[in-house]
Amino acid sequence: METTDLRVGIALYANAHPDDQAGNWACEFNKEPFPFMSASDLPAQTLWITNCQFGDLKQFGLSLNPKIADEGYFRTRIKQLITELGLSNLSPDKQASLLVSIVGNTLTMIKHQLNLVHIPANSLAQAVGQLFGVREAAPRSTLLQVSELACQRYTQCERERRLEKVEIFPLWFHRFDWAHEILGQPLPTSEDLSLIPQSSLPRSGQDAALLVDWAKENNLPLFAKIRINALESTVGRLLNYGAGASSIRGETASGSGYESRNMREWCALPELSVLAGAGEIEILEVAVANGWMRSPVSLLAHKASTVSYSYGLVAENLWVGLTRRHNDFRQSRTLTTAWIQALDRMRCLLAAEKLIEHGMDIANYGYGRITVVCPQSVRSSIPQIARELGLLYPASLEGIAPLPSIKDDPFSIMQTLLASRDYASFAKVDQIILSNLQSSKS
């Protein structure tokens, strides 16, 4: 379903399952919340974003319903939004009301910024992919094969220990800043790929670190087929499903073992750069894209956009949208996608290493987010650790004293608004952005 005006709502099932019939609440943008029993009770001309997983919607025949969307519509799942904003202790009607005000503003912003006539039915990133997604190479081509093998969205991690009395929660990079960093970098084009003979590489490609330096010095959009023979223990666990290894084993400093597994063989230069500094990497083949491109999308250059939670979701979907196909909502298999994902995951990995040093364990990472397993002994230090690493922590963490806000620092202001659950200030900032977008078109 595509709608010509913004008719969107949040539908919260009591237990996040479409089989729930009691305790469900929904709220349409700019309207009042109401209880509902099933999807048939929801108005047909509104796109309802639910807190249900796609698989559950599919099981109940709702995945093809044009008015129903799953929890991942905004890339950041509805459950994640509730955690970040600290809404879990509110009644479901208030949750629905606050959520729809935020995501309604998000959709209004991106409609104005991208001149969208319709709101996408499957995901917000879909709209970006339809407009700016890079076309995939021909089936069975070497270019498509390398692109597909180099792509990886996120990483599930090998956990060395099982801690007791822990909390599991996300930490995430400031969405505007992270999107600004990715969208501001040159990205490889996905039109052609040239294999480089080993004899043309420094030391015939036998030194991965030297190869990385050579590629950076010559500004090459390089991809490499690799075999991981050994990794530093922490990186080995964090790259449990990282590039290059079908199966490698090693020992941590404490003597416990880890295993790194992945059937992929190719990786982009940003990932190779990290791997080359963390272990013994064998270079099997090297290829270079035929050039660079600039991101076709950019962020709204307004001070308010850096402290808007709603625009942060816009920013996230702009860069994620570049990894989507132009003709559907699935991930594209292109060199551009692989490069963007490598930039994202390696930045997360480096932060995850620091979090481990602070006593946390890592469950997974990717899309600018790290899910941590935090023992009670570390809990009180979260604000300081997060600030040092440029990560935000969720408002759902009770009893933690926030650090003093830093004037004119968007990251600090965003964290202060989250920690204080100042939803009114978020709404005011959103109105500034919306006014700016509307005036720029008049």
Instruction: Please give the average per-residue pLDDT across 344-368, as a whole number.
Output: 94
Percent of the chain past pLDDT 70, that is, above it, reads 90
pLDDT at residue number 161:
58
Q: How far apart are the C-alpha atoms of 125 and 139, rounded to whole Å?
A: 24
pLDDT at residue number 258:
42
Rg of the chain over Cα atoms, rounded to whole angstroms, equals 22
Tens digit of pLDDT for each residue in 392-425?
Answer: 999 999 989 999 999 999 999 999 999 999 999 9
Instruction: Please give the average per-residue pLDDT across 336-351, as a whole number.
Output: 95
pLDDT at residue number 442:
59
pLDDT at residue number 159:
58
Kindly indicate the confidence band of residue 331, based on its pLDDT and cuts at 50, 70 and 90.
Answer: confident
Instruction: Please give the average per-residue pLDDT across 116-134, as a whole number.
Output: 88
pLDDT at residue number 253:
42
N-term to C-term CA, the chain: 29
Tens digit of pLDDT for each residue in 285-313?
Answer: 999 999 999 999 999 988 999 999 999 99
pLDDT at residue number 27:
98
Instruction: Please give the average per-residue pLDDT across 149-161, as a whole number.
Output: 69
Instruction: Please give the average per-residue pLDDT across 113-121, as a whole number.
Output: 87
Instruction: Please give the average per-residue pLDDT across 314-332, as a whole number.
Output: 89
pLDDT at residue number 156:
64
Answer yes or no: is pLDDT of 254 > 60. Answer: no
Kindly indicate the confidence band of residue 233, based on its pLDDT and cuts at 50, 70 and 90.
Answer: confident
Answer yes or no: is pLDDT of 1 > 80. Answer: no
Instruction: Please give the average per-residue pLDDT across 207-227, as a whole number.
Output: 96
Percent of the chain past pLDDT 90, that is, above it, reads 73
Q: How far apart are the C-alpha atoms of 80 and 252, rounded to whole Å?
A: 32
Answer yes or no: is pLDDT of 15 > 60. Answer: yes
Structure tokens at 217: 């010095």
pLDDT at residue number 242:
41
pLDDT at residue number 257:
46
pLDDT at residue number 240:
60
Instruction: Please give the average per-residue pLDDT across 252-271, as a whole number.
Output: 62
Most confident of 117-126, 159-168, 314-323: 314-323
Kindly indicate the confidence band of residue 241, based on its pLDDT and cuts at 50, 70 and 90.
Answer: very low
Instruction: Please give the average per-residue pLDDT across 316-324, as a whole number.
Output: 95
pLDDT at residue number 133:
87
Give the residue extent of every domain in the chain.
8-137+296-441, 193-289
pLDDT at residue number 219:
97
Q: How far apart are the C-alpha atoms of 98 and 393, rounded to whole Å?
A: 19
Kindly indicate the confidence band of residue 388, based on its pLDDT and cuts at 50, 70 and 90.
Answer: very high
pLDDT at residue number 126:
87
